[in-house]
A and B are shown apart, each in its own frame.
Chain A
Amino acid sequence: MLGVCQVFITSKDRIGVEEMEQQNNLGLDASVPAVKQKSRFMKDILRDKYLYVLLLPGLLYLIIFKYLPMYGVVIAFKEYNIIMGIMESPWVGFQQFERLFRTPDFTQIFMNTLIISGLKLAVGFPAPIILALLLNELKNMPFKRITQSIVYLPHFISWVIFAGIIMAFLNPVDGLFNYIIKAFGGEPIGFLTSKEHFRSILVISDVYKEIGWGTIIYLAAMTGVSPDLYEAARMDGAGKLKQMWHVTLPSIRPVVLIMLILSLGNVLEAGFLQIYLLYNPLVYDVADVIDTYVYRRGIQEANYSLATAAGLFKSVIALILIVTANKIVKKFGQEGLW
């Protein structure tokens, strides 16, 4: 973490040098006062022409694959007709949104999204912080490294495989959990078809998969905490838990805040792929979220405009959340995302 900060500092120093160079250029330009601003602009562009050449493909890519779809959201205000295309389809104002909010399921879906995300945030956000605190206390380096390698691994396994593992474990016929339940004389449970268990499965599997990977950033921040602080706390009679609470946690607060902003921006995602791979009509009541709804109405039923409206509703809330969170964090004098 410190190293990274240093990178930023040195790059800022360099700006200073460049400004001086530019001022030198200015000095030369001063001999031709009439041309001034504009020619200097053109001169800069020409000087950096190869940089623009390097920039162009990436910029074109972003315009085509990111900004065109952003423009494509206009079909949320149209009645999209596949023959007429995005441009020619007739405008209908907020009709699609009215339709969406009148759909009886939509309130349920919106609530599901909030509940599932909320649960994931409540468990999944503190979990890696706690694990990082504990990993940070391991003084046996080889053991620490091995533990880290193992807990990071699930992050790199695809959700398809993970869903496969979950199904293999929870299968009512030959799954491990039911094998154990049966061994103790219980009745097998259809976990994935049970409204009661489905959300817990989502939260637990999500935390299991990401808890290790989530520690990386906190661990790095913790290496920057001065050992003197711990020694002082120890002298004052603070035990390990008190040291964590009064020394380690306050030291990593900026990082925690940044991670919190990021997760707030993702609150309405709720983990589309995970739910898509695990859910079934029996648990739609508790598991259907905005994205799965968008997929079914849009892709499967070709109801493009309505589905886009639902998607846009989600993206706008996400944008508002992340911008607000960033503002609040900055207001409290902490460094925000931008």
Chain B
Amino acid sequence: MVGLSRGEKIFNFANYTFMCMLIVLMIFPFWYLVMGSLSDAKLAAGGGLFLVPAGFSLDAYSAILNNSSFLTSFRTTVIVTIAGTAIGTFFSATTAYAISKTRLRGATLFSFLILFTMLFNGGMIPSYLLVKELGMMNTLWALILPNAISAFNIFVMRSFFKGIPEELEEAARIDGANDLTIFFRIVLPLSKAVLATIGLFIAVMYWNEFFSTVLYITDKDKWQLQAVLRDLISNTSQAMNSSGATMGLQRNVSEFTVRMASIVVATVPILIVYPFLQKHFAKGALIGSVKG
């Protein structure tokens, strides 16, 4: 092994420096938000760099956590996320398992039908009219169903199932197990990794979903978290007042600090699952993108 040449040393130094700058650039917005949200409203007025909080106050957080529409939407989003993730993960798996068997008559056709939904779609208006004609407007179903199963997730799972050694399934078949038993007793337990990956992907998607509310929900009690958040961000004072939560003159909050605090509160759940997500997602993103 030859030692590093001068050129390589310079390259490495520049590269590590660049990466450090990139890290700072990526972390700074979140740091800024947390520090801004912890600031005293009066001291924060007019902005600042917020490397540390200007003064210290948790009032913005207590204002949000006492805001009824924020809490209702938080609950709605938890329900939608859990239901959607369960439905989406389970039925993606069943579909993927069936088409992963090349012996299945029509497997190629079914795969193509699924692939085609990635290439072409009806678009916003027909999907909207469909939900309307199904009578799902203003129900949680409208938030759960239209996004539950995606072709991409099915293909990721199909690739994974194809990698499970056939011998395991054959052995069970000789013992008299049918395809259902094999799927539930053998394949699913072996597929925890891919189920976790896809489940987390779907959960994050539901947690971040915003536009379904805009399209399908007019009843404010059923708004998703992101929609309420949007309201808080773009329209702070009005949103706080209309929700019935008295922001109160005695409290030390401003639109600025409340806006930041609400962003932080909505991001925390993602940050909590992030380490788990990270453990799996690279694998998931890879299997799926290799072959559609």
Residues of A within 8 A of B (CB): 1, 4-5, 7-8, 10-11, 14-15, 17-18, 22, 41, 44-45, 48, 50-55, 57-59, 61-62, 64-73, 75, 85-86, 131, 134-135, 137-140, 143, 146-147, 149-154, 156-161, 163-165, 167-169, 171, 173-176, 178-179, 212-213, 216-217, 220, 234, 239-241, 258, 265, 273, 276-277, 291, 294-295, 298-299, 304, 307-308, 311-312, 314-315, 318-319, 322-323, 337-338
Contacts and interface: CB of A to CB of B under 8 A. Distances in A.
B29 interface: yes
A167 to B, nearest CB: 7
B126 A54 contact: no
A161 B229 contact: yes
B11 interface: yes
B174 interface: no
Interface string B224-254: 0011011001100000000000000000000
B127 interface: yes
Nearest to B134: A64
A154 B19 CA distance: 16
Contacts of B2: 234
Given A51-B98, A66-B121, A151 B11 contact: no
B215 A299 contact: yes
Contacts of B227: 160
Given A51-B101, A163-B233, A295 B7 contact: no
19 contacts: A1-B286, A48-B179, A53-B180, A65-B149, A69-B121, A134-B18, A138-B15, A139-B12, A158-B208, A158-B209, A160-B208, A165-B29, A168-B33, A174-B256, A176-B50, A217-B285, A239-B8, A298-B124, A311-B126
A54 B19 contact: no
A127 to B, nearest CB: 11
Nearest to B182: A50
A70 B94 contact: no
B117 A62 contact: yes
Interface stretch (B55-63, B64-72, B107-115): B107-115
A159 B133 contact: no
Interface in B257-286: 259-260, 263, 266-267, 270, 274, 277-278, 281-282, 285-286
Nearest to A311: B123
A176 B286 contact: no
Contacts of B183: 50, 54
A149 B229 CA distance: 26
A147 B23 contact: yes
Interface in B124-152: 124-130, 133, 145-146, 148-149
B180 A10 contact: no
A72 B122 contact: yes
Q: Chain A binding site: helix, strand, loop or mixed by DSSP?
A: helix
B176 interface: no
Given A1-B286, A240-B8, A150 B27 contact: yes
Contacts of A291: 124
A1 B289 CA distance: 10
B120 A156 contact: no
A161 B214 CA distance: 16
Top 4 A-B pairs ranked by shortest CB distance?
A69-B122, A58-B95, A72-B126, A311-B123
Given A4-B290, A61-B148, 6 more contacts: A161-B229, A168-B36, A174-B256, A299-B125, A311-B123, A315-B120
Nearest to A304: B125
Contacts of A54: 94-95, 97-98, 179-180, 183
